[in-house]
Amino acid sequence: MKKIVVIGVGLIGGSFALDIKRVYKDAVIYGVDESDTHLDEALELQVIDKKAELNEISNADLVIVSIPVDATVKHISKVLDLVSDTTLVIDVGSTKEAICEVIDTHKNRRNFLAAHPIAGTEFSGPKAAKQHLFNGKTMIICEVEKTAFKLQEKALQLFSNVGMRIRYMNPKAHDKHIAYVSHLSHISSFMLGKTVIEKEKNERDIFDMAGSGFESTVRLAKSSPDMWTPIFKQNKANVVETLEEYINNLSKFKQFMEADDFEAIHSEMKNTNHIKDILNGII
């Protein structure tokens, strides 16, 4: 692969660009972004090699779409309108169902691969991009059977070269499961941060008393609202369902506290300790 176009040169798109430059020595990375500042930063940091416009993607070998999911739903058809028969277009957004639906009957559907790398940090923008972000991480692929076989092979080789594991899933199941393991985590982090900030008006008290537990739990609250609001919007039904279950569990815990039922609290926590066995097997 020689001509690579990355649409959205932030954390995920930029990290893919850096890994592609590392693995494919003759690749030239073109960046497309609505922010000129991001493009300038990406050039300065050598995340990309050249700036480009969307209409310059027609002869690209690979196009990676790494923009907020609502923007992907809006623009992905136009991207597919512009590509050649041999171009692979990969979307790496955190929701899949709406994106897959909007291009289901597109004439170039065979050029498209719906994917979601289970990787990232709480930071955003080109400065957040880093090599090896995806090493050892899982790539979820949806509706692989709708992508041309040769383009599937190209994508799988890329993911293998950057060190990723592959998991196949349908878009509906993906969005439901990711609401539990990712989207709910971010909501919890944002709301914990909000609760503490509103309660502790003196920020020095927060910083002086915050330990590693608070820091790790609230870390995701530093994530970009511009990215996460569209994700919650696209996955609204699943997010609401997970919130209902989460709130029910919190309410039950509160009831145990009010009733001085610390035996029940101990039992709840002990049963939940099993999650470490699950996570040790997959992380």
CATH of the domain at 213: 1.10.3660.10
Q: Is 214 exposed, middle or buried (0-12, 13-18, 19+ CB in 10 A)?
A: middle
Q: Is 165 a residue whose pLDDT tops 60?
A: yes
Residue 149 pLDDT > 90, yes or no? yes
Residues 30 and 87 in one domain: yes
Note if the pTM is more than 0.75. Answer: yes
- Picking from 5, 11, 4, the residue whose alpha carbon sits closest to that of residue 133 is 11
Question: Is 115 found in the same domain as 70?
Answer: yes
Q: Are 38 and 10 in contact (CB under 8 A)?
A: yes
Domain end point (choices 112, 138, 170):
170
User: What percent of the chain has a predicted confidence (pLDDT) above 90?
Assistant: 82
What's the mean pLDDT in 6-26? 96
The boundaries of the domain holding residue 75 are 3-170
- For residue 275, what pLDDT is reported? 79
Model pLDDT for residues 84-110, shown as the tens digit of each residue = 999 999 999 999 999 999 999 999 999
> What does the block give as tokens for 84?
């050649």
For the ranges 129-143, 202-216, 260-274, the lowest mean pLDDT is seen at 202-216
Report pLDDT for 203.
Answer: 66
Instruction: Give phi and psi for 275, each to the nearest 5.
Output: -65, -30
111 touches 85 (CB < 8 A): yes
pLDDT for the residue numbered 94: 95
